[in-house]
Amino acid sequence: MPPVIYPDEPPSKAEYIARFLPSSPRLRVFLVFVFFWLASIAWYYPHASHDPSSIFYSSTHGHDKIYSLRREAEAAAFIAAANEAARGRTKERTAPQHPLLCLAVATVARPDKQYVETAVGSMLEGLTVGERRQIYFMFLIAHTNQSVHPLWTEPWTNYLPDLVLSYDMLDQEDRGKVSRWEGEWDHYSKGRFDYSFLLQQCYDKTSAPYIAILEGDSLAVKGWYHRAIAAAKQLDSANPYKEHASMDDPLTDPPSTWLYLRLFYTESFLGWNKEEWFSYLVHSLAIFLALGMSLVVLRTCFPRSLARTLSNQNLQLILFVLLPVTILLYFSLGRSTIAGMRQPYPAGLQQMNNFGCCSQGFIFPRRLVPFVRERIKENLEVYIDMLMEHVADTYNLQRWTVVPSLLQHIGSRSSKGDIEADERARMIWSYGFERWGINGATGL
């Protein structure tokens, strides 16, 4: 009887794939890393292109208004409705008697577009009736001659605020200072004075436990108010009055452990920082040692199957070439991207004692306002946001923010009227704010 010949068994999937791979173990290891690099870039690129700390950041799409355009349209519709309601009518709504928040906004005329009506519209649009009754809204056109402001004749400027401020409220000496600063284009001095003036008016004319100063080129997310107030209340419950504070002299010993709640920050200053280089080095060395030891243990435990793949030459390739390139790729993707969806901090209330920028919106506890105003009077030649950081560092006060940012900076032209200031204004952008357009303005 002739012998029975059986057909060859079909190759397994692993054997089939192996036919298309190079026979060299070193080349196989290299290709595995290349595949990992390319897959990582493809996966993270949509986020890295909007991360200013990434080499893949796109100057073309990094400032895409994913959510801002919608919010600007909602704010414009609100202002248009307010103008229509204000024409030929008297204001029927009375100012809240016991507000929870005093909201103050100042505006100066800009060279071209006036952003403040969009800012005010976004702050008020979407509020419930109950929320609006908790807000005492003050508005200042910050010119000694307010008629020079293009929005001076707009009906909403008198219809929406609970109190319209002016420099006529000042004594003759302070009004003279403001006039001199206007003539000298002294934005530092006048800006600090306006800030202190708004704080004083909120403090003197309301009993609100929280005072918010927002800049006129800010855009608020829908639902900003209840998120901000919830965060402020959480801070107060966790940080009561400082027991050692001298209540007889709150100007020198702040009766609070937190200075402000930040409503805006930009991820541009939350990337890899040279101040933390030693931490990065230690973590990189730890990964190097952990991987090296793991590979040696694997080769020892499985000598037959891994002897060629994890030869000494391949270990050197992995540890001294491929791993360093992988670590470089990690840093190149950007800190915010690696942290997840361009948010370097988890969502919610977060401490931000370093790298916070800028002064688009702060909420102060009422009890700290006299102390803050006293610090402003010290006449430091810096912007308000830098002054606040100096005060916090000097007096060991904590700074907090809400993640994602509740405000966006929409002023591509500075009110200071110079090219350098305009360039800085364009760099101030919250990439996380635009995530509201993807995730929806819910969940916090």
pTM value > 0.85: no
pLDDT in tens, 288-338: 899 889 988 888 888 887 878 888 888 888 899 899 999 999 888 887 777
Q: Averaged over 363-379, what is the pLDDT?
A: 91
Report the C-alpha gap between 374 and 395 in whole angstroms: 13
pLDDT band at 442 (very low <50, low <70, confident <90, very high): very low
CATH numeric code, 87-266+360-439: 3.90.550.10
Report the C-alpha gap between 178 and 186 in whole angstroms: 9
Strand partners of residue 106: 140, 215
Q: Which of 95, 75, 365 is nearest to 213 (CA)?
A: 365
Q: What is the pLDDT of residue 154?
A: 92
Asked if 265 and 353 count as a contact pair (C-beta separation under 8 A), the reply is: no
Report the C-alpha gap between 340 and 334 in whole angstroms: 10
pLDDT in tens, 212-230: 999 999 999 999 999 999 9
pLDDT, averaged across the chain: 83
> DSSP letter string over 139-203?
EEE--SSGGGSTTTT-THHHHS-SEEE-GGGS-HHHHHHHHHHHHHT-HHHHHHHHHHHHHHHHH
Q: Which residues, 6 or more positions from 326, have their beta carbon under 8 angstroms from its beta carbon?
A: 33, 36, 37
pLDDT in tens, 26-80: 888 888 889 998 998 888 888 788 777 788 887 777 778 889 999 999 999 999 9
Q: What is the pLDDT of residue 44?
A: 86
Asked if 336 and 328 count as a contact pair (C-beta separation under 8 A), the reply is: no
At 433, give phi and psi (nearest 5°): -60, -40
Report the C-alpha gap between 376 and 387 in whole angstroms: 8
Report the C-alpha gap between 171 and 429 in whole angstroms: 38
For the chain, what are the domain ranges? 24-62+272-333, 87-266+360-439
Q: What is the pLDDT of residue 241?
A: 60
CB atoms within 10 A of CB 49: 19
Report the C-alpha gap between 214 and 426 in whole angstroms: 18
Instruction: Give the start-end residues of each E strand in 232-335.
Output: 258-262
Q: Which of 157, 169, 154 is nearest to 201 (CA)?
A: 169
CA separation (Å) from 193 to 184, 334, 379? 15, 39, 10
Q: Averaged over 336-356, what is the pLDDT?
A: 73
- Residue count (the chain): 444
Q: Residue 13 above 80 pLDDT?
A: no
